Chain A
Amino acid sequence: MVPFLGFVLIPASLFAQKDTTGKRLDTVTVRSSRPPQIQAVTPSQTIGSNDFARLNAINVADAITDFSGVIIKDYGGIGGLKTVSVRGLGANHTAVLYDGVEISNAENGQIDLSKFNLNNVQSITLYNGQPASICMPARSFASASVLSIVTSKPNLTEEKPYQVSAGMNIGSFGLINPYLQWQQKLGGNWSYIVNSYTENANGDYKYSINDGNSTTEETRLGSVVSMQEADGALYWTKSDSNKFNLHLNFYNSSQGLPGAVILYTPPPNGQHEWERDVFAQTGYEKLWKSSLHLLINTKLSQDYLRYFDPHYNNGSTLLNEYFTQHEVYQSAALSYHLLTNWEVSYATDFSLNNIDANINNFHYPTRITLLNVLATNLTFGKLLIQGNLLNTNVNETVRSGTALPGSNIYSPTLMASIKPFADQGLQLRAFYKNIFRYPTFSELYYGVVTNTNLKPERANQYDLGVTYKKSFNGIIEYVALTADGYYNTVNNKIVFQPGFDGAINYGRVDIEGLDAGLKTQADLGSGYKIPLTINYSYQSALILTDPSAPDYLNQLPYIPKSTLAFNIGVNKEHIGLYYNQVLSSTRYFDNNNDASDYLPPYSISEASVVYKNTIKKFPVMASFGVDNLFNENYVMVQSYPMPGRSYKLSFQITI
């Protein structure tokens, strides 16, 4: 049988559900002190809803800052853009899944993780390579890594056919974030969940700016944030192997864009952005007794963005741009066990993306993408071998100008894992994945030049890792260790060339790295438990474009060689105290790698206290957290200062 992967740890009173990216949804009760499931064929890191409070997190970007191999690019503040780059590859190489279906952005490929509030999130898993299932949408095979967001599922009984959770986060930056979740069991096999939240903040924060000679204190203004989201999910669950879901999601936001902090001149003011996104998503899954497994997903989405700048560049021009993206997406996947140890699958995805804008000379591109994947996995005793071949066919049309010629690309993946020794706690794994990212609409059609010779950015990933887990009966309850060495190559990097004012394929990068993680928990007796997580990453991401150029073998901008994150806590019964630390070595913001583009290392601490109890059998949770505990002044992106110390108070009750 194929091992199921990607478990989520939640307390004994609840259930652990597998990630829903197209796998069977058996529910399994687990003891809270069992070691986390780390033994997947590809490296994966998971964080569950139970951990969000101790990480002081209210959005997805906050929740995954400790993951190894992950660089969050944060433009600062509560409304600042936050994107994720994994193992030295650009943000566009990571697919973000929402209940198994990719959230795409054909415009610029950037998914802002600060937009995803955690109020309806059950778990977040990062897979290097791809999730381990072979019955999943073709898009899940089509990125260098996958960040899978899984929403809360109904957790109801005949005796209690409804559940209401209400909560509130308030804190620095004028943050007010109330949220409400309503779960309801309907007749037959139907149930629904409705989630909604609003988030408002003035976004202002103090920072200091140094011009090389003197430092001045300033206040970052113009970062006001107002967002609202409603997500309704309808579930029909005949059984674990025959079920359907429908999501309707509405997101609306209005926020200031304070821009870069420029020396010697007052910050720009009045730049603003509005977003209004709607999508409908359905999933149907059926598993027959014959082992035939069917998964069908459909999505329709419309993303509207308005960008306004009252003082665009020359101080008098008013910039008022509208962009509307549409996506039509249909996916079908089918798998079958030819033998008990041999499973094969086929998945096919169709997607249509287009974009409208009010820009002069806009090209109005429409892209049709067809993905086809053949995949298989084989189990020989302690050895698991899995492989797939992805075919990508892209065709593009434009209403004016020249479209990028169509392309047809094959990209293979091969993975294996083995437990070679009698001790089943030790596993070795390896994978090779050849993948690419296609140029985005903005890379192709927003620059003044359309480069029809632009090729996809190709990446090869090689990974070799070891995992070890062991439960003990002493003070240490368990130890889970992972270490993966990897080697990635990137060719035909897509970069925007300022002089050309369009995108070109320029350059080659080699990334050698190591991701290592430790999870453990000590039981000190009398109910005191000490959970500890440590993640370390080493990334040597070197420019290999031109051996005669001065930047040859220099480190890529914004990638630190080393990062270390650890989270330690102590909890007893209802109360937990947690401390989180993220350390980053020096980074460079350009290719020089000298004093001129040096960004100093930083070390950011967070602390939180979490209280959980029941009041008249209703579960309640209250927490207080401090971000940037020691008020460190730092930047992640040059000219975008990060906030100093900030506070957050949260409360939640479930009825």
Chain B
Amino acid sequence: MKQIKLHYLFIAIAFTAALASCHKDRAVIPHDTPTAQNAGIYVLNQGGFDDNNSTLSYYNYSTKVLTADIFSSANAGAKLGDVGNDVGIYGSKMYIVVNNSNKIDVVNAQTSVLIKSVTLNQCRSVVFYNGKAFITSYNGVVAVLDTLTLNINTTIKVGADPEQMAIVGSKLYVANSGGESTTGPDSTVSVIDLATMTQTKLIKVIANPTSVTADTLGHVYVISFGNFSNIAGGMTVINDVTDQVLSQPAISIGYNIPLYQQHGYVYYPTSNNDIAVYNAQTQSAASANFISDGTTLVAPYAISGDPNTGEIFVTDAEDYSSNGILYAFDKTGKKEYQLTVGINPGRIALLNK
């Protein structure tokens, strides 16, 4: 008698478990096998803030092997740290700026094997000039790292929370974002004379300047976030001879503002997540969307290119919490291939043969 009643119970449990049954089919993600003249391409993935999951993806064009985290595999499993914010190759070395771990990892560019970790508080971006690496730090300085001794011997005082930089001739342009300030953003670009390593000028731009690039036609381009209230974000073009503001062209900018210049064209994402192009020669909009084959992006996060082939690389951070995608487009904006990289792919570096 008791057994019969328990029998009802098991039927009922089976019935409720049936609720957890139907499953949908997963989409198949295509995997491309690109070829190129270069040895390989690095993508630095920020990971999530405070998640200690920054990674360095590498695609080797000759072996056609994609390594999800070559830093870890080249260094006995050691993790890169928290928020890899910038990467640059200079000579035989690669410099990985790991923002929230407060360090720059200098590695062998070919193998990613660690040579030295250099401590720098809240380091952000790196550029190179004459045997030196210039690295911005939220301490309000640009640290000057000697690329032979790998020591920081000099720091140059700039504005608050400096972000990206560009070098034209012997001048270094630094975006002082003030983006971490509790009293509102900064709105200046510091000009540093690289002969004397001192700030020679402050250029007033749109509030919260962050991205910087330069062309070979006499212009420095700065994209600012604005103050997200009464000052809209936008682009400022600076004459690199007079260091005066040339114009502030009305452009549509998105929520991420990578900025890249190649062969007289400046590439940046719009609020529609298209990749707009600005003509450096005519100083006017060249194209509302560089991508010509209908490829759509969710969250364009980094833009770079190969000056030899004219290719443009764009990463997509997608939902910011799963692996992003690296897209390679030919110079006409047609997709050549795509590769799955890491979470929040923020920087790209091409490795020459």
Q: Do A and B bind each other?
A: yes
- Chain A residues packing against B (C-beta within 8 Å): 211-214, 259-265, 312-317, 319, 321, 359-361, 401, 421, 423, 425-426, 428, 448-449, 462, 464-466, 468, 481, 483-487, 497-501, 506-507, 512-514, 516, 538, 540, 544-545, 547-554, 557, 589-592, 596-597, 638-639
Tell me, in angstroms, the Cα distance from A596 to B340 when the chains sit together.
13
Chain A residues lying within 8 Å of B20, measured Cβ to Cβ, are 485, 487, 512-514, 538, 540
Q: What are 7 sample pairs from A and B whose C-beta atoms fall under 8 A apart?
A: A260-B50, A260-B52, A361-B184, A448-B227, A596-B69, A597-B343, A639-B50
A contact patch SS: loop
Please tell me if the beta carbons of A264 and B255 are within 8 angstroms of each other in the complex: no
Please tell me if the beta carbons of A264 and B9 are within 8 angstroms of each other in the complex: no
Please tell me if the beta carbons of A590 and B102 are within 8 angstroms of each other in the complex: no
Please tell me if the beta carbons of B8 and A638 are within 8 angstroms of each other in the complex: no
A365 to chain B, nearest CB (A): 15
Please tell me if the beta carbons of B139 and A421 are within 8 angstroms of each other in the complex: no
A509 to chain B, nearest CB (A): 12
Chain B residues lying within 8 Å of A592, measured Cβ to Cβ, are 321-323, 343
Chain B residues lying within 8 Å of A263, measured Cβ to Cβ, are 52, 79, 81-82, 101
Q: Which residue of B lies closest to A420 (CB)?
A: B8
Tell me, in angstroms, the Cα distance from A596 to B76 when the chains sit together.
16
Let me know if B333 is at the binding interface, CB within 8 A: no
Please tell me if the beta carbons of A549 and B16 are within 8 angstroms of each other in the complex: no
> Could you say which of B19, B256, B321 contacts A557, with CB atoms under 8 Å apart?
B321
Chain A residues lying within 8 Å of B78, measured Cβ to Cβ, are 211-214
Please tell me if the beta carbons of B101 and A213 are within 8 angstroms of each other in the complex: no
Let me know if B308 is at the binding interface, CB within 8 A: no
A258 to chain B, nearest CB (A): 12
Please tell me if the beta carbons of B322 and A591 are within 8 angstroms of each other in the complex: yes
A466 to chain B, nearest CB (A): 4
Chain B residues lying within 8 Å of A507, measured Cβ to Cβ, are 319
Please tell me if the beta carbons of A315 and B229 are within 8 angstroms of each other in the complex: no
Chain A residues lying within 8 Å of B101, measured Cβ to Cβ, are 262-265
Q: Which of B23-31, B87-95, B238-246, B260-268 lies at the binding interface?
A: B23-31
Most interface-central of B18, B101, B298, B321 (chain A CB within 10 A): B321
B26 to chain A, nearest CB (A): 5
Please tell me if the beta carbons of A264 and B98 are within 8 angstroms of each other in the complex: yes
B327 to chain A, nearest CB (A): 14
Please tell me if the beta carbons of B26 and A552 are within 8 angstroms of each other in the complex: yes
> Could you say which of A464, A499, A512, A545 contacts B15, with CB atoms under 8 Å apart?
A464
Q: Which residue of B lies closest to A496 (CB)?
A: B320
Chain B residues lying within 8 Å of A549, measured Cβ to Cβ, are 27, 298, 318-319, 322
Tell me, in angstroms, the Cα distance from A554 to B321 when the chains sit together.
12
Q: Which residue of B lies closest to A595 (CB)?
A: B68
Let me know if B353 is at the binding interface, CB within 8 A: no
Chain A residues lying within 8 Å of B121, measured Cβ to Cβ, are 314-315
B173 to chain A, nearest CB (A): 20
Please tell me if the beta carbons of A213 and B319 are within 8 angstroms of each other in the complex: no
B3 to chain A, nearest CB (A): 12
> Could you say which of B5, B53, B98 contacts A421, with CB atoms under 8 Å apart?
B5
Asked whether A426 and B9 contact (CB < 8 A) given A212-B79, A464-B19, A483-B16, the answer is yes
Tell me, in angstroms, the Cα distance from A544 to B256 when the chains sit together.
25
Tell me, in angstroms, the Cα distance from A549 to B23 when the chains sit together.
17
> Could you say which of A314, A516, A591 contacts B180, with CB atoms under 8 Å apart?
A314
A298 to chain B, nearest CB (A): 37
Please tell me if the beta carbons of B8 and A426 are within 8 angstroms of each other in the complex: yes
Chain A residues lying within 8 Å of B6, measured Cβ to Cβ, are 468
Chain B residues lying within 8 Å of A314, measured Cβ to Cβ, are 121-122, 138-140, 160-161, 180
Let me know if B72 is at the binding interface, CB within 8 A: yes
Asked whether A501 and B255 contact (CB < 8 A) given A421-B8, A548-B27, the answer is yes
Chain A residues lying within 8 Å of B140, measured Cβ to Cβ, are 314, 316
Chain A residues lying within 8 Å of B68, measured Cβ to Cβ, are 596
Chain A residues lying within 8 Å of B9, measured Cβ to Cβ, are 426, 466, 468, 481
Please tell me if the beta carbons of A487 and B19 are within 8 angstroms of each other in the complex: yes
Tell me, in angstroms, the Cα distance from A540 to B20 when the chains sit together.
8
Tell me, in angstroms, the Cα distance from A547 to B26 when the chains sit together.
7
Let me know if B294 is at the binding interface, CB within 8 A: no
Please tell me if the beta carbons of B52 and A313 are within 8 angstroms of each other in the complex: no
> Could you say which of A423, A449, A516, A553 contacts B228, with CB atoms under 8 Å apart?
A449
Please tell me if the beta carbons of A506 and B319 are within 8 angstroms of each other in the complex: yes
